[in-house]
Amino acid sequence: MKTVYPQIVTSADMLKSTIQLEQLIQKLKQNNAGAAAITNSRLYGLLPFWHALHAQQIKAVLGLTVNVQLETGIVSLVLYAKDNNGYENLLKISSSIETREITVLPKRWLEAYKNGLIAVYKGESTTELELLSELQMIFGNGQFYLAIERPNGEKMEHEETIIQYSEQLTIPITAFHMSRYIEKEDAFAYEVLNAMDQSLKMNDHTRLKPSTDSLHILSSEEWSEWFFDAPSWIENTERMLNSCNVSIEKSASIMPKYPLPETKNSKDYLRELCEEGLNKRIKEITKPYVERLNYELSIINQMHYEDYFLIVQDFMKFSKQQNILTGPGRGSSASSLVAFSLNITDIDPLRYGLLFERFLNPERITMPDIDIDFADSRRMEVIQYVVKKYGQNYVSQIITFGTLSAKAAAREVARVFG
């Protein structure tokens, strides 16, 4: 039997774990892992996790840890995507929590997004029968499990109660263990990280210490020893994780469409705008300009990026009409005559000998990336225009992930030690 890991929190969950993907993969291979689940509090780090495990032929299970407001109280659940429909619902749940800045998921949202999900509730000493019945009503049989943990291999006081409720409601029990660091020796490093997360010093008496020093990646021997009297729980865990089959294969990018009447297509309309714009910007259009424009448009058409350029020129046109200050263009997009013709940039690439291939190259397929500067005080007007024209559900701002560089880590560690 291969080892399975139902609850791994990675360092993509900022300051919640010291587990980095490269070291995790090595440990999972060493432990002959059959399946492992990422269960961060947001879906950060999920794609690299899936692809890295998939490459090593280890089943990657996609999970999310959420707090839910039930009628009987607030509970913490681990939700797993059973299929691609469940994965999409995990995305909706994570996005709902993030964009609305809430910490607890309302019950009605959980009910709306439950399809394709498996829920696991870690039984606690305060668990009531009504609470478990409520969760069972939401998910039904086969989608809801109870979990029992044994920190350092020791039985918890409330185990017998959980077993009794499990039998009474016919809810299967799984063996559970949360991992926040790779080796047992990493416990102190995690405690320091936890102090950083609380913005407190190590000697601060108000600091909440980790409840156990066994949040490491368990070996198969530890799983067997810690749950020696309940092999069926381990089997249930393995069965549950192996029932999760999400495929996130890398596919072609789905580009947005620029709204045009049925009588026009984006390819012809882009050429029309470029020729019109170039005539306005260049007094005398010589052969090199004609050849360069034709070349760039052929590459853009070949890579199906016409709509991208139309959308960018659209909000740039709006900005100029509203007298919103924009930059002249920077980065590789300044080497595009198409961008210059559309008034996206103000730099004539032929005049300065700039190579279009630095921006788009059919031999190296990458997404077009036009960096544009807007006046800080009026940037939101541009975003609101795009949202209004294309729809709120079709517009997203890019997220930046916080990380700790070596210098920042050293400074933070020094601070928590005073």
Residue 135: CB atoms within 10 Å: 25
Whether 387 is covered by a domain: the verdict is yes
> Which segments of the chain have a pLDDT < 50?
none
The DSSP bridge partners found for residue 121 are 77, 146
Whether 418 is covered by a domain: the verdict is no
**Which of 242, 257, 279 is where one domain is finished?**
242
**Which of 179, 210, 242 is where one domain is finished?**
242
377 and 276 in a common domain:
yes
138 and 11 in a common domain:
yes
169 and 40 in a common domain:
yes
Residue 374's pLDDT is what?
A: 94
The pair of structure tokens assigned to 208 is 């909440």
231 and 275 in a common domain:
no
Name the domain count of the chain. 2
Residue 281's pLDDT is what?
A: 94
100 and 187 in a common domain:
yes
| Secondary structure, 3-state, 375-418 | CHHHHHHHHHHHHHHHCHHHCCCCCCCCCCCHHHHHHHHHHHCC
235 and 349 in a common domain:
no
Cα–Cα distance for residue pair 342/327, rounded to 1 Å = 14
Whether 333 is covered by a domain: the verdict is yes
**Which of 242, 275, 295 is where one domain is finished?**
242
The pair of structure tokens assigned to 315 is 């909000």
270 and 233 in a common domain:
no
274 and 162 in a common domain:
no
Whether 108 is covered by a domain: the verdict is yes
Whether 363 is covered by a domain: the verdict is yes
Long-range contacts of 255-259 (CB under 8 A, 24+ apart): 255/304, 255/305, 255/307, 255/308, 256/307, 256/308, 256/311, 256/390, 256/394, 257/307, 258/306, 258/307, 258/310, 258/311, 258/314, 259/389
Whether 280 is covered by a domain: the verdict is yes
339 and 300 in a common domain:
yes
* Bridge-based pairing state of the strands 59-70 and 73-81: antiparallel
166 and 27 in a common domain:
yes
* Bridge-based pairing state of the strands 117-122 and 73-81: antiparallel
Q: Where are the alpha helices (DSSP H) in 206-353?
A: 220-226, 231-242, 266-281, 287-302, 306-321, 337-341, 349-352
* Bridge-based pairing state of the strands 178-179 and 59-70: unpaired
337 and 233 in a common domain:
no
Whether 254 is covered by a domain: the verdict is no
Whether 249 is covered by a domain: the verdict is no
- CATH code, domain carrying 157: 3.20.20.140
313 and 380 in a common domain:
yes
Domain assignment of residue 194, given as a range: 3-242
